[in-house]
Structures are given as C-alpha cells and as structure tokens.
C-alpha cells in the first residue's frame, strides 16, 4: 500500500476542485472509478485532501463537506447540559439561558451570567425554575451552598444571602475595608482575625519554633558572626524589657 500523500498531484487536485459541488460520497466513488490505482485511499483520507485543496462545497457560509447545518432550535447535549441552536450557521447557547432570556425580555443581559436550575435538575426548563446569577456573584453563592437539589426554596434563600453579602462587600470596598483575597474579597478585619487564629494554633506555633531553631543552628555553623549579633540583640531586648518591668 503506497503512502497516501504520494498519490496526489496537480492533475488529481484539479479534478477534486472541478467536482467539488458533488455529494462527497458520490464524488469519492467516481474518483475511485476513474483512478483504479487509488482503491486503497479511504473515504476519510479523500475528504481530508478535499479540505486541503479547498474542494469542499459551502453551505450557509460554512464549509461542511456533504453535511447540512441543523435547523434553528435544534438541541444537543454538551457536558451533560442541553444547548439550543439560535442562529445559523452554528450558533449555540445553553437552553437554560435561552429560556430565561425569552421569558425576561425586559432585562439587560450585557452582564455575563450563569443560568442555574433552582431545584438542581438540569432537565427542568420551567421558567420559574431558572434564575440568572451574575458571574461575579457565583463564588459567593457557591460558598453558601449553591443549588440545593430537590429544594428550590433553599436555593432561592442562598441566592438572597449571596446578594446580601455582595452588597455588604461592595459597601465595605467603597470605605476601604476590604482586601482581595484568593478568588474574591474579604473584610480586612476578618482576614487579620483568621491569620491570628492560625498563628495561635499549638501545632503551628511548634512548627514555627522548630523552623526558627533549625535556622539558628545552621546560622551558628555557617555564619557565626551574624549568629552572635542576633543573640546580642535578643539579649539587649530582654534586658530592656526586664528593666521596664516586663519580664518575659
């Protein structure tokens, strides 16, 4: 069996271009009939060569070979969710987004959002079961537990809690009371409190003390002058505290 690419030459490529308007399977059969020395060329290899030389016909401004575009409002499943076709030749969006936007035409959809199922069932497309959650709110919403499967009322409550929390954070940010922390914002006071609680944990204290001892031991061997300077500084600090009545 000879290598696929070696069979193609200018004459055969021109043949493909001249017959590009044919249905691909019919074109393939005609090609094999006129070129009996190419019977080992598979249909897939034949279509690939058509694509390389631009011999695939165009449907609705989209090169699709012998496939026709699916009609509007066709549905498909992707990653477990249903998508719906809303424009040609190949524009798909989540069906939950489409249902919500069709039933809430007065809303402004310029802000990027997720469209969630309040009861956790991604096949329940009742408009009352779909809510729009701005992307900036999703992290806070998930921190409160996100969607509660089988209980849309709890999901609604969590969504209200997330909106309330976001409003508080927005107000705190305007007053300079928040910091960016990980994937979101937190109040500076809460961050400092959490850091202090972490440092005060017995296991953390022991781990830090061991690290300091190992560091000082290494310094004593490798940098004795620096080690002695640190000891003198620490002794001076202890003496000053003792003098002021703050005995360690």
The predicted structure's pLDDT at residue 121: 95
Mean pLDDT of 153-180: 92
From 145, 160, 187, the end of a domain falls on: 187
Q: What is the DSSP string of 57-97?
A: -EETTEE-TTPPPPPTT-EEEETTEEEEEEETTTEEEEHHH
Same domain membership, residue 21 and residue 85:
no
Can you list the positions of beta strands (E) in 12-68? 58-59, 62-63
Structure-model confidence comparison of residues 185 and 131, the more confident one: 131
Same domain membership, residue 107 and residue 57:
no
Which residue reads 């080690």 in tokens?
227
The predicted structure's pLDDT at residue 246: 57
The predicted structure's pLDDT at residue 148: 95
Domain that holds residue 222: 203-243
Mean pLDDT of 123-141: 94
Mean pLDDT of the chain: 86
CB 138 within 8 A of CB 146: no
Same domain membership, residue 207 and residue 116:
no
Position 125 in a domain: yes
pLDDT (tens digit per residue) in 48-65: 888 888 887 554 444 444
Position 248 in a domain: no
Q: What is the DSSP string of 102-149?
A: HH-TTS---S-EEEEETTS-TT---GGGEEEEEHHHHHHHHHTT---T
Mean pLDDT of 83-108: 92
Mean pLDDT of 166-183: 86
Position 126 in a domain: yes
Position 70 in a domain: no
Same domain membership, residue 93 and residue 58:
no
Helix (H, G, I), strand (E, B) or coil at 31: helix
Position 160 in a domain: yes
Nearest in space to 149 (alpha carbons), one of 184, 169, 124, 112: 124
Domain count, the chain: 3
Same domain membership, residue 172 and residue 226:
no
Position 192 in a domain: no
**What is the number of alpha carbons within 13 Å of residue 60 lying toward its C-beta?**
13
Quote the percentage of the chain above a pLDDT of 70. Answer: 91
Same domain membership, residue 169 and residue 215:
no
Mean pLDDT of 140-168: 94
The predicted structure's pLDDT at residue 190: 84
- CA 146 – CA 116 distance, rounded (Å): 9
Same domain membership, residue 218 and residue 183:
no
Quote the percentage of the chain above a pLDDT of 90. Answer: 40
The predicted structure's pLDDT at residue 64: 47
Check pLDDT > 80 for residue 248. no
Note the pTM of the prediction, 2 decimals.
0.55
Position 113 in a domain: yes
Same domain membership, residue 163 and residue 139:
yes
The predicted structure's pLDDT at residue 57: 57
Structure tokens at 25: 């399977």
Same domain membership, residue 24 and residue 80:
no
């Amino acid at each position: 069996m000879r290598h696929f690419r070696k069979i193609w030459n200018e004459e055969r490529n021109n043949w493909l271009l001249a017959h590009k308007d044919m249905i691909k399977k019919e074109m393939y059969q005609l090609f094999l009939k006129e070129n009996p020395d190419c019977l080992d060329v598979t249909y897939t290899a034949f279509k690939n060569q058509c694509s390389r030389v631009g011999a695939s016909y165009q449907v609705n401004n989209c090169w699709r070979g012998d496939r026709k575009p699916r009609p509007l409002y066709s549905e498909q499943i992707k990653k477990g969710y249903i998508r719906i076709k809303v424009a040609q030749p190949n524009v798909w969006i989540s069906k939950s987004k489409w249902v919500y936007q069709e039933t809430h035409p007065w809303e402004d959809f310029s802000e990027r959002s997720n469209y969630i199922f309040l009861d956790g069932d991604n096949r329940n497309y009742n408009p009352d079961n779909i809510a729009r959650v701005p992307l900036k709110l999703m992290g806070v919403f998930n921190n409160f537990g996100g969607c509660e499967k089988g209980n849309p009322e709890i999901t609604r409550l969590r969504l209200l809690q997330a909106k309330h929390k976001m409003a508080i954070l927005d107000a705190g940010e305007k007053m300079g009371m928040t910091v960016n922390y990980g994937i979101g914002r937190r109040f500076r006071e809460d961050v400092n409190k959490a850091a202090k609680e972490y440092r005060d944990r017995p296991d953390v204290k022991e781990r830090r003390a061991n690290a300091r001892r190992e560091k000082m031991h290494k310094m004593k061997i490798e940098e004795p002058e620096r080690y002695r300077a640190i000891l003198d500084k620490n002794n001076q600090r202890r003496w000053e505290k003792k003098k002021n009545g703050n005995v360690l």
